[in-house]
Amino acid sequence: MDFDFNLLMNAIASGLLLGGFYAAVTAGVSISFGMLDIVNIAHPAFVILGSYIAYYFSASLGVDPILVSIIALPAFYLLGGAIYQVYYLSFERRGQDALRGLAFFFGLLFVTEVTLLLTFGVDYRYVEAPYIGPSLHLGSIELPYRLLIPCVAAMLLYGALEVFVSRSFIGRAIMAVSQDQLALQLMAADPIRIKRIAFGISIATASLAGALLIVIQPVEPSVGRDYIGRVFAICVLGGLGSLPGALIAAFLLGVIESLTSTYYGPSWAPAVSFGVLLLTLAFRPAGLMGR
Amino acid sequence: MAAVGLAVMALAHWLSVDYFYFAAYTILQFIVLSTAWNILGGYCGYVNFGTAAFFALGAYSTVFWHKFFPMPIPVLIVLGAVVSGIVGLGMGYLTLRLRGAFFSIATLAMAVVFQTLVVNWDFVGGSRGAYIIHPENSEFAGISVHYIEYLFMLMLALALIALVTARTIERSQLGYGFATIRDDELAAEACGVPTLRLKLIATTLSGAFMGMAGAPFPYYIGYLQPQSAFALDYAVNSIAMPMIGGTQTWVGPLIGAIVLGSAQQYATVTISSAANLLIVGLMLVAFVIIAPNGLLGLFEQIRARKKP
């Protein structure tokens, strides 16, 4: 069999870049599911919401979509805080979060998706930016800028999150809440407020991830459904509560998906992430770097 | 129970409006799906997001056998049930070691894996989809009826069987076992309840009924394709209906399916077909926040308050 080294290298390269982007989408779930134990299955819907906001303001004002999403960060943060408040009052306080909380977020997923559908319609939306189109040529490897820039942005996001979590007071409080909520309460910090801040940050990352998504590919409301599985697969594979783990797992998944797509055909790609998830849950539920 | 079924059938035949059959078929189908979901989700407490997989597998098994040679639908229903039941058993083995959210995500994963398998399987049409042409009328006990009425009667019978089964399970030893699993699985295991075996029974039964609901679907819809057959919409409906009606008893899914199904049909006809998913989402969120035990729970609360 003709072994095309070029094809392999390109597949791995684009897999890594795509993996970087998946990491950006997963950052939010890594915080909400990994650290706060909140199964926010609606996260991909918020990412799509971020995409549409980036599209809307970018198309009408001509501003770069990633810039739009950064400006929209505070709005998403407040949205996340509000959602957590409802979640806490309805479920966590009564101790019923398992089944009801899951159903709540599932319902929220559909409400968000259909609202976007009714507002914007089913047409694919895309943005114009100077870096969508040209590629960086490193020898025989081609790195499209529209994949490279989201990957770099994702890694910056992770760097920022990691610094926040390890250096700042609130960041360390979030880690504390994930380890032992009662102990944190005894230390005179309000765990509910900390969790609200953390969930707000989680949804805020969705805004940025949404802009990155619409840079990579045209978006329509039901695109989010493909990401539900990927996001949780990466979270579990990386180990719950570990941001570096999620980053590594995202790269891994991106490469595996890219190789499957290239050698077996793109119709098998959705099964890859879920297959990885099932294997991880069966053999190493703690993930790569889990507690 | 049978008397109610016969009454509904007679009323429907007397009305003889084709649209009623179409709409009622959908609602009956959801009664079966939500009752089936409730066996695993409400009685045992394991939230299954993969409803669409079992439903679509039932539908695709019909397509598969139809390509070999066409058979009467009741036979196909049984075959669909067997296929989905076996898949349910397999899914149980793979996923029941997981708890809570992990189980739910794993069921979602299995649904997508099955969808990918079907998309790549050309014999049943793959992503091109499969057509099934059905006859205009159907002979039934000497009376010739429109095909859709035949499907409606079949689905009515299926719904009655599902409800009777759920009621029987609920009142039996099996039902008590399920309830202990829902309340505290560790304690149940410590008391000697064979939790794994019970859970496997639950997933198999649940899967089998969902497959039975799916088996006549290709005949109803005429054209089957993986994108819509495996859609997440079935999962959200089969979760929302028991949660709205009440997950504790067999009546809950029935009420939820009728209320939500009718609302959806009404919205599809009057507003738009995309709006019906919005209604499902909003009602699910609203009921989960306001009435955690569903409509039945609300009735119980009101009745309890009225007592001196």
Residue A240 is part of a domain; what is its CATH number? 1.10.3470
Residues in chain A with CB shorter than 8 Å from the CB of B232 are: 225
User: Is B60 inside a domain boundary?
Assistant: yes
In the structure, what pLDDT confidence band is assigned to residue B143 with cuts at 50, 70 and 90? low
> Would you state the pLDDT for residue A198?
92
**Distance between CA atoms of B284 and B173, rounded to whole angstroms?**
31
Q: Tell me whether residues B282 and A100 touch, CB distance under 8 A.
A: no
Q: Tell me whether residues A114 and B289 touch, CB distance under 8 A.
A: no
Residues in chain B with CB shorter than 8 Å from the CB of A99 are: 41, 45, 47
CA nearest to B108 within chain A: A229
Domain count, chain A: 1
Q: Tell me whether residues A110 and B275 touch, CB distance under 8 A.
A: no
Q: Tell me whether residues A274 and B112 touch, CB distance under 8 A.
A: yes
User: Is A126 inside a domain boundary?
Assistant: no
- Å from B10 to nearest chain A CA? 37
> What are the phi and psi torsion angles at B137 (to 5°)?
-120, 165
Q: Tell me whether residues A281 and B98 touch, CB distance under 8 A.
A: yes
What is the residue-averaged pLDDT of chain B? 81
Q: Worst-scoring range by mean pLDDT, A136-140, A240-244, B143-147, B155-159?
A: B143-147
> What are the phi and psi torsion angles at A142 (to 5°)?
-105, 125
User: Is A289 inside a domain boundary?
Assistant: no
Q: Tell me whether residues A268 and B240 touch, CB distance under 8 A.
A: no
Enter the tokens of residue A274: 């879920």
Query: Angle A180-B46-B299 (CA atoms, 0-180°, nearest 5)?
Result: 100
Mutate to test the interface with A, among B108, B119, B288, B293 (most CBs of A within 10 A): B288
- A173-191 pLDDT, tens per residue? 888 888 887 888 887 778 8
Q: Which of A98, A104, A80, A105 is nearest to B289 (CA)?
A: A104
| Interchain contact A263–B (C-beta under 8 A) | no
In the structure, what pLDDT confidence band is assigned to residue B142 with cuts at 50, 70 and 90? very low
Which range marks the domain in which residue A261 is found?
Answer: 7-121+131-283
**Mean of pLDDT values over B13-20:** 68
Enter the tokens of residue B70: 């066409």
Task: Determine how many CB atoms are found less than 10 A away from the CB of residue A271.
Answer: 23
| Interchain contact A274–B (C-beta under 8 A) | yes
> Would you state the pLDDT for residue A29?
92
Q: Is A121 helix (H, G, I), strand (E, B) or coil?
A: coil
CB A20 within 8 A of CB A155: yes
Torsion of CA A32, A34, A37, A39, to 10 degrees: 60
> Would you state the pLDDT for residue B22?
81
Q: Tell me whether residues A111 and B281 touch, CB distance under 8 A.
A: yes
Q: Which of A45, A63, A43, A46 is nearest to A54 (CA)?
A: A63
**Distance between CA atoms of A159 and B128, rounded to whole angstroms?**
45
> Would you state the pLDDT for residue A83?
92
CA nearest to A232 within chain B: B105
Residues in chain B with CB shorter than 8 Å from the CB of A279 are: none
Nearby residues of B52 by Cβ (< 8 Å), 6 or more positions away = B111, B115, B229, B230, B231, B232, B233, B234, B235
pLDDT of B20 over the 50 cut: yes
- For chain A, 291 residues long, give each residue's pLDDT as a single digit of tens: 456 788 888 889 889 999 999 999 999 999 998 888 888 889 999 999 999 999 988 888 888 888 888 888 999 999 999 999 988 888 766 665 577 888 889 889 989 998 998 888 888 888 877 777 777 787 778 888 888 888 999 999 999 999 998 888 888 888 888 888 788 888 777 888 888 999 999 999 999 999 999 888 888 888 888 888 888 888 888 888 788 889 999 999 999 989 888 888 887 887 887 888 878 877 777 777 765
CB B83 within 8 A of CB B58: yes
**Mean of pLDDT values over B195-206:** 88
CA nearest to A236 within chain B: B102
User: Is A81 inside a domain boundary?
Assistant: yes
**Distance between CA atoms of B268 and B283, rounded to whole angstroms?**
16
Residues in chain A with CB shorter than 8 Å from the CB of B235 are: 106
User: Is B249 inside a domain boundary?
Assistant: no
User: Is B15 inside a domain boundary?
Assistant: yes
User: Is A1 inside a domain boundary?
Assistant: no
**Distance between CA atoms of B211 and B51, rounded to whole angstroms?**
9
CA nearest to A88 within chain B: B289
Q: Residue written as tokens 């595996």? A: A256
- Å from B41 to nearest chain A CA? 9
pLDDT of B294 over the 80 cut: no
- B85-129 pLDDT, tens per residue? 888 888 888 777 777 778 888 888 888 888 888 888 877 777 777
Which range marks the domain in which residue B96 is found?
Answer: 2-231
**Mean of pLDDT values over B224-240:** 83
Q: Tell me whether residues A281 and B115 touch, CB distance under 8 A.
A: no
- Å from B26 to nearest chain A CA? 20
Helices and strands of chain B, counted as H and E runs:
15, 4
> Would you state the pLDDT for residue A202?
93
User: Is A56 inside a domain boundary?
Assistant: yes
User: Is B295 inside a domain boundary?
Assistant: no
User: Is A278 inside a domain boundary?
Assistant: yes
Residues 97-156 of A with CB under 8 A from B: 98-100, 102-104, 106-111, 113-115, 117-118
> Would you state the pLDDT for residue A287?
75
User: Is A111 inside a domain boundary?
Assistant: yes
Whether ipTM exceeds 0.95: no
User: Is B286 inside a domain boundary?
Assistant: no
> Would you state the pLDDT for residue A1?
44
> Would you state the pLDDT for residue A201?
93
Q: Worst-scoring range by mean pLDDT, B64-78, B87-101, B131-145?
A: B131-145
A-B interface: how many C-beta pairs under 8 angstroms?
A: 115
